[in-house]
Every structure is written in C-alpha cells, then in structure tokens.
Structure 1
Amino acid sequence: MMYLAYQTQANLMAPLRALAEQALPGLQQAAGSNPFLRGFAAATEMVARAGLSHGRPPYHIDSVRVGNRDVPVVEEPAHVTPFGTLLHFRKDLDEAAQARIGVQPRVLVIAPLSGHFATLLRDTVATMLPDHDVYITDWHNARDVPLSAGRFGFEDYVDHLIRFLEVIGPGAHMVAVCQPCVQALTAAAVMAEEKNKAVPRSMTLMAGPIDTRMNPTKVNELAKEHPITWFREKLIATVPPGLPGVGRRVYPGFIQLTAFMSMNMDRHVKAHVELFQNLWKGEIEQATKTKDFYDEYFAVLDLDADFYLETVEWVFQQHRLATGELMHRGKLVNPKLIKKTALLTVEGERDDICAIGQTVAAHDLCTGIKPYMKRHHLQAGVGHYGVFSGKRWNSQIYPLVKNTILAME
C-alpha cells in the first residue's frame, strides 16, 4: 500500500508538473525585468521541479582531455544483465592517437547500490578517464526489473562483479566507492581462492563499511536499533501495477531519500528557498549549480528487497566479513587468500556515514598481501562525498589511486 500511495500521488501531480514545464519558457521570456512576472516564473519552475525521477540521469561525459586534445567519449554496454550494465566509457581515438597514448590500464569503478544511480560517481569517472580505460557498474532500478528475472541478493551482486571483471579481461583494477567495498573485497577473495584469471591487479576501497564496529556513525546505529524483521515489515514495499517490476519486493528509493533528507532538513529547505530567490533575481549560475545537484539527488533507485535486507543484516548488524563468518555460495570467504592484488584504502576525516577505521579494517583481513602492496590514506578536511568527488579527490586522493594502479601494471 505504501508504494501504491506514493505512485498514485506522483501520477496525480504529473499533469500539473508537465503544465508548469510547458508554460515556463513563455513566462521566462515575457518576465523581462518585471519583478512580479519574474517571481511567478520562478514559482512555476519550482512546481515543475517538485517531484522525484526514477530514471538514470545522463553522465554528461561527452569528451575528455587526453594530452593536448579533446577526445570524444562513447558510452558502450560491454555486458548487460536484468539488474545491471557493465558500461564502458570508450575514448573514440584514431589509430595515431591510440598509438601515442598506448594501452591504458583498465579499471572497473564499482558504484553503490543504495538509492541513487551510478551517475553519483560522475566526477570519479571523469577524473580517471584521461589516464585509464574506465568501466562502471551501472545498476538498474529494481522497479523496472520484471519478476521473471528472479532475485538479486548480496551474493548476486558479488557474482556480477566477478562476471564484469571476466568480461573486461585479466589484468584489470577495481575502484569501489562506499557500500560495495564489502562486495568488492568479497569478490577479490572468491576469485583468488578459485584462481580466476581475471582476479584484479589492484583494489581501491574508498569510504566503505568493511567493519562498522569501528567508530559507529548515526547510520550504523540506526541499522542496529531494530531486528531485521522490523526492516522487512516496515521498509519493504511491493512495486505497484503499471511498472515493469510489478510485484517485485523492493526497498523504495523514495524512502531512503526521505531518511537522508530528514537528517539535514533545514539545509535542504534553505537550499530551495535560495534557489527560488536565485531564479527570481536572475542569478542563473548559482541556480544552475543547485538544480544540477538536486537533479541528481532526486533521481532515486529502488533496491531489490533481498539485496537490501541481506546487506543490512550481514554487513551492518552481523559484520560477517569482519568476523570471518561471511559465506558465498556455500563457501567461507577468506580474504587472507588474496595475494596478487594490491590494496589501497581511503577514508575521509569528516565522514559521518563511514567513519575513520571502518575501511582501513580491510588491511587486517588481507594478511596475505605483502606490506609493500598495501597502503592507507586518511584525507584531511573531507566528508563522505569528498572522498570521491571535488577538489581534494582530484588533487590529493586521485594521484594515490593512479599510482597504485600504475605500480601493478
């Protein structure tokens, strides 16, 4: 009923939003310097924007600077399953340019499956592209996946990573951001034990919950406040009729967004008041920055219920990987068997989602990796998102990631 009520409200609002969007260009053109009309146009735009999106926003990575020239970038699906696409950002180089830059390291960027689309890592990909051949886990919205595709749980996520690395081919590298650091480490351990030829040469884990017993955050504490039955009964909903995934049990993205916004509601209200004022005053540059942020923030993705519940229980409540109790397809996951994969962990000093100590815990698990192949970096002055986007990511963190990859080439 919860999802049906939400979708019914969204459907009822859709015509009003469409009408406002259609009227907006004319209002903006007619407003000129008239303060009343400018205010009316600003209000109309706020109405047009009043809602969530359930489709993936564009990456907007159309070209990249390689050397002294701009090179077109083409998005190509390298492998597709019902639940995710291995998306390749192929640089469209001629033979001469390709010969000049040579073969670049292949990198799989592993995006979180936590209520937003992989485009959240747009800045991560854009920074890495000039020096690397980049792929990303472009996860699909569970509400668009038909029931006939089956379940998607924690182990299925791990299997996807293994399959994606096999498609990319031997010698690739992994860069995992946030929540999937656990699955990335699990995949590397499984591949090492199975002597899989596609085992990654390096593994960068950034702001991930390897062991949330270390310095628990508010997010970690919320996960342990209730038994898993509470999450199943209170937060899981059924995709309503009219959508491709009708009948699938999901953790709706709009619920997670509501929870995130409630933690900083004053800030979001203030941002929208300022957006209205910027639009009214014609301060286009500042308004565009705010709109771009919320276009991404309000694009929500539903998680398959099995994946969500298993992640909450296995990672945040039972700490199975950290305690040596995590199983994959009936076999115990043993990170000690990872020996040929370099390890870099990165944490943010001000991270209030994945606190200091939670990611570096990977080093205690990966005792089979030689000390010279392991490194940890604590980035001063950044929160969670600053680890993988923004100025310090570009100038201070990325060079370490790049050097880790180059050292294993």
Structure 2
Amino acid sequence: MDLAYFWYEAGHMMLAPARAATDATRIAFKNPVNPLTHTPYGKAMAAGCELFERVTRRYGKPAFMLDETLVDGAPTTVVEQVVWERPFCRLIHFDRKIRDPNRPADPKVLMVAPMSGHYATLLRGTVEAFLPNHEVYITDWTDAREVPLVEGEFDLDTYIDYVVAMCRALGPDVHVMAVCQPAVPVFAAVSLMEEADDPAIPRSMTLMGGPIDTRRSPTAVNLVAQERGVDWFRRNCIVKVPPPNLGFWRDVYPGFYQLSGFMAMNLDRHISAHWEMFNHLVEEDGDSAEKHREFYDEYLAVMDLTAEFYLQTVETVFVEHALPKGEMMHRERRVDPSAIRRCAIMAVEGERDDISGVGQTLAALELASNLPDEKKLYHLQERVGHYGVFNGSRFRSQVAPRIAAFMREQDEAARVARGGRRAQRPAAAAG
C-alpha cells in the first residue's frame, strides 16, 4: 500500500509546532511596541515568518464571497442556496433578492465547474460576471476525502448522471456552461438526453477550453497522458485516504499530488512570486501583498478526486480519445453526438491555451453533425491562456458578453417558436 498520504498527513502534523512558533514570532515583530518592528531586520523577520507559515499550511475550501451584485444598476443582495444535493456534489443557486416581482426573468445558467483539483470558487470571477443579468447555478463538487466509503464510487459515468439529473431539476430552459474538464461529460450528457428525447434537454451549452478531442493541437498535459498510459497513473498517482478523514480508505488522486504538478509546470514563476511578496511585505506595500494572498489562497486550495473518476477520465479522454472516435460508452450506451439536434452549442477557446489546445473544443461543433449551423457558434479569444478563457479582463469585456448574447438569442428563438412575437431588448442587456 502506498503510504504517501499518511506521510503527508504526518509531516503536516509535525510542522504544526513550527508554524505556531513562526506565527508568534511574526506577531512579535509586527507589534508597534517592539523597537525592532520598524527596522529592516524586524520587517524582514515578519515577512519571512509569514511566508513560512503560508507555504506550510493546508489551505481550506475558499468562500465565494459574492454577497451583492448590481441588477439594473441597483445594488442587490445575493444569497447562496443549495437547491440539489448528492454525496459528491451540491448545486448552489446564487439567489438575487430582486425587489421588482414584475421584472422579466433572466436566462438560467448552470455552470459546471471543473473537477480537476481546485474548488468551484475558481470560477468566482465567472459567476460574478454573469450575476447581474442571469440566474446563476454552479456545481460545488465535494472533496473525495470527505465522502465516506459507504456512499459508493464516483466515476465518469456517475458524473454524467449528475449532469443529467441537474438539468432535469432546473428544467429545459437552462443554459449549461462547462469550463474545461466538464466539457466532455456535459457534451456526453446532452448527447444522451437528445438521443432519449428527454424533455429536459438544455436550451444551449457553452463549452469553454474543454478537451473534446485532445488529438488536436496536443499540449504537454495531453502528451504526458498519451505517452504514459492509464496503468502508469494507476501505479503512481492513486493512494488511500488516511484517518481521521471521513473518506478513510477511499482510493483517490490526492490534491497535494495535483498541486505539485501545477507548481512544477511554472516553478520559476511561483518562486519569483513569493520572493516578490517577501519584498512587498518588507516595503509595507500592503495592496500588492494582499493580491498575492488572494491568488494563492485560491490556487493552493485543492481537493482529492476519486480514483475511479480520475483514471476513467485519463483513459477515455486523453488516451483512447473515445468521444471523437465515436467509441465513448456510458453504462453500456454509446455516446452519439450526432443525436444533438436541438441544444445550441457555443465553443470558446483561448489563443494561448497551454492546457486545452486550439481546436480541441471546436471539435464539438463538428461532432454535432446534425445540429443546424444557426445553432452553432465559435469564439477564439485572442491573447489569453487557459484561465483567460473564463476569467480576467478580456473574459469580462469580450468573452462573457458573447456568451450572454448567445444565450439570449436561444431564449428568443424558443419564445418565437412557441408563437410569441420577437422582443425588442436593449443591446446593453446582453452584457
């Protein structure tokens, strides 16, 4: 049995006294009564102690902290509500307390957050951009080490089942948005729903930087999976959760393994960022130091994935390329993208994406061969990498408005198809 997780837990416990002593030292050198506090030595000591504490701590699940938004220019309270729940996921609704009961309903958006190591709060900026003009729901995936073994397994098939169940819970007027990893299970779920003529088929789905066909513009991530094969990952990446976690003895791909991989990809950048933070603290540049804290509080907070989900995803998506080959199966049913005839599809890619190369998401539009062209849209965002596809200034100013306009077009088309007149809506409402 691989004891890596046990040693990781033991190391964290053994460092606890050192972290406590370091934090106490930092407080002492931040105390204005201490004559050394305002000296270069005192500032360097306090900065060094904070960095030590931060790089050795375990980061918990962050909060969305989206308590307010602007609706029609007016500040509006936002309350998080759990509207659907299963052992491995909760569906959160960002309920806007709109005071005008006669206000027209906004498009309903289901954001399927990636289950690839980070928490759903990675999409905080994505949610924030859509809140003013949309009813937003997001998948809040559960850390696998917190799910008891009695709850059973969670694999790619279960993931697809969850997506179908959430679409049925929200109704056929929902617009699904899949960011990165969920592009494949969401695309598969909609394909299966279309083939079964499910009454809850989503009105549209937006696939953003997703690995639909990783044979196109393969990135370093794709090539590693292809070269090593699923057996290598089974031997080297899967460990058992140790006590006292609720998921004790569950096989997982642990978050700290994933974080090591994330950090290794750009190690020099992370070292430079921490050195810059040390200097910001010494120079008492509070704003710059706080930006560093905010970024790494999110980046270093990782969750475990169930082994069966991780390995099935590696094999199906990155090794066998089963979906684009027409060979992907879901509980003995073949996933047939050509069955998609009603759900509109938008594919969004980043020009500099080093995780999902250009063309990998675009493949979805080609696989949905029986979907009318007027229900397909492709957007390649210039000068952004993987995270720029769903966050950042260019996302807010260029990507999000295009997605919002696409969703409203599908809502309008559905209304006209039901016999209604085409509505006149100000252009600003599409943002």
- Residue in 2 that maps onto 1:225: 227
> Contact 1:208–1:354 at 8 Å: present in 2 too?
yes
What corresponds to 1:99 in structure 2? Answer: 102
Question: Aligned residue for 1:158?
Answer: 160
Q: Return the alpha-carbon distance in structure 2 between the equivalents of residues 43 and 6 of structure 1.
A: 23
Distance apart, 1:54 and its partner CA: 5.4
Mapped pair 1:133 → 2:138:
no
Aligned residue for 2:414?
none
Q: CA deviation at 1:117?
A: 0.6
For structure 2, which runs of at least 5 residues remain unmatched after alignment? 412-431
- Name the counterpart of 2:245: 243
Q: Tell me how far 1:50 sits from its aligned partner.
A: 2.1
Query: Could you tell me how far 1:163 is from its partner in structure 2?
Result: 0.9
Matched, 1:87 2:92: yes
- Structure 1 counterpart of 2:43, one-letter code: R
Cα distance, 1:52–1:196 mapped onto 2, change above 3 Å: farther
Distance 1:364 1:15 in 2: 57
TM-score (norm. length: structure 1): 0.97
| Alignment partners' CA distance in 1, 2:129 and 2:147 | 31
**Offset, 1:229:** 1.4
For the residue of structure 2 that corresponds to 1:292, the secondary structure is: helix
Task: Give the structure 1 partner of residue 83 of structure 2.
Answer: 78
Q: Which amino acid aligns with 1:343?
A: I
| 2:276 alignment counterpart | 274
Aligned with residue 56 of structure 1, among 50, 56, 61:
61
Identity %: 44
Over 3 Å counting, the alpha-carbon distance change for 1:54 and 1:330 in structure 2 is: farther
1:373 aligned to 372, 375, 381, which one?
A: 375
Equivalent of residue 308 in structure 1, options 283, 305, 310? 310
Residue type of the partner of 2:305? Answer: L
Structure 1 residues 355-405: Cα deviation after superposition (integer angstroms, max 9, x where no partner): 111000001110121101101111110000000000110011111100111
Which residue among 385, 394, 397 is the counterpart of 1:395?
397
Give the Cα–Cα distance (whole angstroms) in 2 for the partners of residues 57 and 18 of structure 1. 22
**Shift in Å at residue 32 of structure 1?**
4.9
1:254 and 2:256 equivalent?
Answer: yes
Indicate the larger mover: 313-322 or 193-202: 193-202
Structure 1 gap ranges (5+): none
Contact 2:5 2:241 in 1 (8 A): yes
Which aligned pairs between 1:8-27 and structure 2 lie closer than 5 A?
A: 8-21=10-23, 24-27=26-29
Which is worse superposed, 33-42 or 249-258? 33-42
Question: Does the CA contact (< 8 Å) of 2:83 and 2:92 recur in 1?
Answer: yes
Once the two structures are TM-superposed, the CA of residue 189 in structure 1 deviates from its matched residue by 0.6
Q: CA deviation at 1:69?
A: 1.3
Contact 1:346 1:377 in 2 (8 A): yes
Please, what TM-score do these two structures have when normalized by structure 2?
Answer: 0.92
Task: Supply the AA of the counterpart residue of 1:99.
Answer: N
Contact 1:154 1:310 in 2 (8 A): yes
Contact 1:52–1:298 under 8 Å retained in 2: no
Matched to 2:45, the amino acid is F
The change in CA–CA distance for 1:15 and 1:80 in structure 2 (over 3 A counts) is farther
User: Residues 109-135 of structure 1: CA distance to partner in whole angstroms, max 9, x if unpaired?
Assistant: 011111111111110010011110000
Higher mean alpha-carbon deviation, 53-62 vs 157-166, is at 53-62
Partner residue of 1:45?
Answer: 50
Aligned to 1:175: 177
Partner secondary structure for residue 245 of structure 1: coil
What is the letter of the counterpart of residue 2 of structure 1? A
Matched, 1:108 2:110: yes
Q: Deviations over 1:15-70 (max 9, x none)?
A: 33244445544532326532221111111211221235353201111111112211
How far 1:182 moved relative to its partner?
0.4
Read off the aligned partner of 1:377 and give its amino acid letter.
Answer: H
How much does 1:13 deviate?
1.6
After TM superposition, the structure 1 = structure 2 runs for residues 333-344 of structure 1, keeping only pairs within 5 Å, are 333-344=335-346
Residue in structure 2 matching 1:264, options 263, 266, 277: 266
* Aligned residue type for 2:55: A
Alpha-carbon contact 2:207-2:346 (below 8 Å) kept: yes
- What's the offset of the Cα at 1:103? 1.0
Q: Hey, what's the Cα distance between the residues in 1 that align with 2:16 and 2:369?
A: 55
- Structure with higher Rg: it is 2
* In 2, Cα distance between equivalents of 1:2 and 1:287: 33
C-alpha change, 1:403 and 1:32, in structure 2 (3 Å) is same
Matched residue count: 406
Q: CA–CA distance in 2 between the matches of 1:106 and 1:325?
A: 32
